Amino acid sequence: MKNRTRKLMAILMALAASSTMMLASCSSGNDSSTSAGNSTAAETGDTSTAEPQGDPYEVVMTYLYWGTLPTDFQMVEDAFNEKMLEKVNAQVTWVPLSFSEIGTQPSLMVSSGEKLDLMLCFQQTSFLDAVNKNMIIELDDLYAQYGSAIAEDMDVAMAGGYVDGKLYGIPSTRCRADSKGIIFADEYLNKYNLTVEDGLTYEDLDAMLETIKAGEGDAFYPFVMSGSGLTTFEFFHKIDFLGADAACGGMLQYDDSNQIVNVFATDEYMEHCKWMRKWYEAGYINGDAITATDSAQSFVQNGVGASYLLQTYWDMEANQELGLAMDMTMSNLTGTYAMTGVYQGQSWGIPVTCENPEVTMQFLNAIYEDEVLTNMFYWGIEGVHYVKDSENEGYINYPEGVTNATSTYTNPLGLYGAVDKMYQMPGIEDYFGKMQAFNDSITDDMKSPYLGYVFNTKNVKTDYAAVNDVLTQYRASLESGSVDPETVIPEFLSALEAAGINTIIEQNQNDLNAWLAEQG
Amino acid sequence: MVRTQKKKIRWQRFLPVYLLALPGFIYLIINNYMPMFGIIIAFKDLNFAKGMLASDWCGFDNFAYLFRSKDAWVITRNTVCYNIVFIILGVILGITVAIFLNEIRNKIAVRFYQSVVLIPHLMSWVVVSYLAYALLSTDVGFINQSVLKPLGAGPVSWYTEPGYWPVILTIVHLWKSIGFSCVIYYSSVIGISTDYYEAATIDGANKWQQIRSITLPLLKPTVITLTILNLGRIFASDFGLFYQIPRNSGVLYPTTRTLDVYVYNALMNNNDFAMSSAASVYQAVVGFIFIMIANGVIRKLSAENALF
């Protein structure tokens, strides 16, 4: 016994000694980062107290950035504060978060009681999660009282912020309707005399891909896709997921049946996967689709691909052309639609720990109201980071001697305020006119009869987690044609059923029926 | 009386050593023991308005999704079976390579080979993942293009065929880890006195007889220590190996997914703290059971080598 205790001690000692070494080697790095964090907090704290005008409320908000934090982050934050004080008696502290942190950091801040007044819910799942865990508060009253600019600006898109009939999030989107489809590089269209129009069928695409493949040879893939989480089905069919996702069923058509179905059990799904399988086996689709980590765009840019799937929002073609520096033509395959899902994605919520939701709401409203504030997030300070184009309203350019690469402030995520008032760099002519024309072209028959209905997965969360897990296992390989649908779809469906998809759909159907009854 | 005195002296003699370990103990408690309090999240219906402690208890609800499909069984099986195979093959190959190295007489050559087998150990899993991809990629992979094609065989879609992966993962693991484990065995092998070998040579023993009767028996303590240390981690898998090498291809899950990968995916997909910590608790509990069993078996077989 004694012998054994001694041995245990020896092991513990060894562990302890080795962890001390690790501690020593890590500590220097930790120190510097924490002290840096403290100093920025202290600085911003100083600026807010130094303001003479009463006692401005300090709004702490998440600030999402892409890549590295812009050099002039602090400078823009100070300028933003100055401008904000003119409108609302509030000061801001931005909490910079990278993409890898945005999902978890805000909830950690709320649960640990750290001050946070405005948080970005970056995806519908994290938004719903925040609502169901009571992490963010109801906004109906605040919105009615202080949200006039938001209402004017977001309009129909406000549908994305509701859960169980109550408003929890303020969406930030410029989409008023959306569509999905495919885009081709003109180079190959011209070479093989092909034309692209909206609403191409599988047969049309099959013929086009065959021609391109025959002409370009073995190591060329006319239809490229990539990623272990890729999906293709919803790019070919207009599917209303009713404010939730594929795990909760959906509707392939806007009809009057009000019947939610398991989209993976439909004939359309089988047909779709068969086409994908055919294209995969014929070498139209890249064989490494589900394991490739390069984007589909990069395949086309490198001259080994001709087309890929994308959202076909009105300015996407021009966007892709600018990004790839190639001429492109896109085809809207699903038709334009306006359904709840279009407006979900990013929304602003007010955490339960916020001490002054009234001022926070006024603050948020001010960002939607004032295009200077909106654009400050995106482009920085006028005269320093950008100059206005005197001839074209709404267009800007970099100041003399500054380029995209040397600019010290830009945050091209567009998540803040009235994103349709965002200034444009030269590239797309008559941007604002075209946007207006698109918004005006949205007709009532594009609108889903279930617009505004959002399915809450709260009561079926075990089934939902299990079904999602099955989806990650099967969807990408089926929808890229990597596996044979005839044998795999039956297996997929039985796995979905075992995981509980029918329970979810049943719940969804009940909720929808109740919602419809309420709408009258 | 004499004994207690002796004990006292020894305790005093070792006191500085214990003091030296004190910061490490404190670190262990703060870093490894205090977070265990978070286990309660797995049994809570998390509600931020009420706070973590005041949230309602929900029993085993958070665990339910793990056992909804066959996932729990598959990931448990994968984690344990891979580790068993890795331990057995790791010992055999590690000793083999160590003995080979020992037989090389040219000093420079020994250094060279030692470095070569160790290099994979120093590579990051992401780099290894791309190396594997360069070999296995369907369109441009070396095996499909330069091995199977000249042989007249059709290309194999490696990343959609779960059947191949137990072999692929085992090879990749051994390739990466063998350098490090053979260094440990090698240091034991060169520590064996040359007197034994000289005596054996005089008695007319050939190389194989020398290895079997001298080298292997003297390596036994090292083997047992290393095996026990590995057994302690039998329910923890190398996340890099199982996540990066199969490139998170869903089709391969039946043979590549282990608990760590599952927990990671669950957290990324669901963003649900309670369910993720439920999976971690499951891992911890089953891991604990395995260590107890392994230690119990070793205690039966050779009590002095048991961990506790």
Tell me the domain boundaries of chain A: 43-171+339-441, 180-338+457-519
Per-residue model confidence as pLDDT tens digits over B244-270: 999 888 889 989 999 888 878 777 766
**Mean pLDDT score of chain A:** 86
CA angle, residues A216, A218, A224, in degrees to nearest 5: 75
Is B65 in Cβ contact with A473 (below 8 Å)? no
Q: Is A479 touching B (CB cutoff 8 A)?
A: no
Cβ contact A469–B269 (<8 Å): yes
Task: Tell me how far apart the alpha carbons of residues B98 and B188 are, in angstroms, rounded to a whole number.
Answer: 9
Q: For residue B232, list chain A residues with Cβ-Cβ distance below 8 A.
A: none
For position A41, what pLDDT does the model report? 37
Q: How confident is the model at residue A14 (pLDDT cuts 50, 70, 90)?
A: low
List pLDDT tens digits, range A288-301.
Answer: 899 888 899 999 99
Mean pLDDT of B21-39: 89
Interface residue of B272, B298, B305 to substitute, partner A, most A CBs within 10 Å? B272
The mean pLDDT of chain B is 86
Convert the pLDDT of each residue in A40-64 to its tens digit. Answer: 333 333 333 334 456 889 999 999 9
Cβ-Cβ contacts under 8 Å, A288 against chain B: 137-140, 159
Cβ neighbors of B195 (< 8 A, separation 6 or more) are none
By CB atoms closer than 10 A (0-12, 13-18, 19+), residue B185 is buried
Task: Name every chain A residue with its beta carbon within 8 A of the beta carbon of B18.
Answer: 13
Residue B160 to residue A477, Cβ atoms within 8 A: yes
> For residue range A73-117, what is the model confidence (pLDDT) as tens digits?
999 999 999 999 888 999 999 999 998 888 888 888 888 888 999
Q: Residue B6 pLDDT > 50, yes or no?
A: yes
Q: Are strands A180-185 and A328-332 parallel, antiparallel or unpaired?
A: antiparallel
Higher-pLDDT residue of B229 and A161 is A161
DSSP state at residue A420: G
Task: Give CA–CA dist A485/A415, Å, rounded.
Answer: 39
The pTM of the full predicted model, rounded to 2 decimals, is: 0.83
Instruction: Report pLDDT for A254.
Output: 73
Residues in chain A closer than 8 A to B23 (CB atoms):
16, 20, 23
The span from the CA of A233 to the CA of A474, in Å, is: 13
Task: Count Cα neighbours of A219 within 13 Å in the Cβ-side half-sphere.
Answer: 5
pLDDT, residue A505, reads 96
The beta-carbon contacts of A263-267 under 8 Å, at least 24 apart in sequence, are A263/A233, A263/A239, A264/A489, A264/A492, A264/A493, A264/A496, A265/A493
Q: Is the pLDDT of residue B241 over 90?
A: yes
Q: Does domain A43-171+339-441 have CATH number 3.40.190.10?
A: yes
What is the per-residue pLDDT across B118-152, written as a single tens digit (0 to 9) for each?
999 999 999 999 999 999 988 888 999 889 988 88
Q: What is the pLDDT of residues A138-181, one digit of tens each?
A: 999 999 999 999 998 888 889 999 999 899 999 988 888 999 99
pLDDT score of A223: 96
State the nearest Cα–Cα gap between A367 and chain B, in angstroms. 27
Whether residue A15 and residue B28 make contact (CB cut-off 8 A), yes or no, is: yes
pLDDT digits (tens, 9 = 90+) for B99-127: 999 888 888 998 999 899 999 999 999 99
Mutation choice for A interface testing from B7, B65, B137 by most A CBs within 10 A: B65
Q: Which of B45, B56, B251, B291 to mutate to test the interface with A (most CBs of A within 10 A)?
A: B251
Q: Which of B133, B75, B70, B66 is nearest to B255 (CA)?
A: B75
Which has the higher per-residue pLDDT, A366 or B220? A366
Tell me if chain B has a CB within 8 Å of the CB of A2.
Answer: no
Q: Does A473 touch chain B (CB under 8 A)?
A: yes
Give this complex's ipTM. 0.79
pLDDT, average across residues A308-333: 92
| CB-CB neighbors (< 8 A) of A492 in chain B | none
Q: For B273-294, write each residue's pLDDT tens digit.
A: 788 888 888 888 887 887 788 7
Measure in Å the smallest separation between the Cα of A59 and chain B Cα atoms: 20
> So where are chain B's domains?
60-305
Question: Is there a contact between B24 and A470 if contact means CB atoms under 8 Å apart?
Answer: no
> Does domain A180-338+457-519 sit in CATH 3.40.50.2300?
no
- Phi/psi at B254 (nearest 5 deg)? -55, -30
The CATH code belonging to domain B60-305 is 1.10.3720.10
Query: Cα–chain-centroid distance for residue A348?
Result: 13
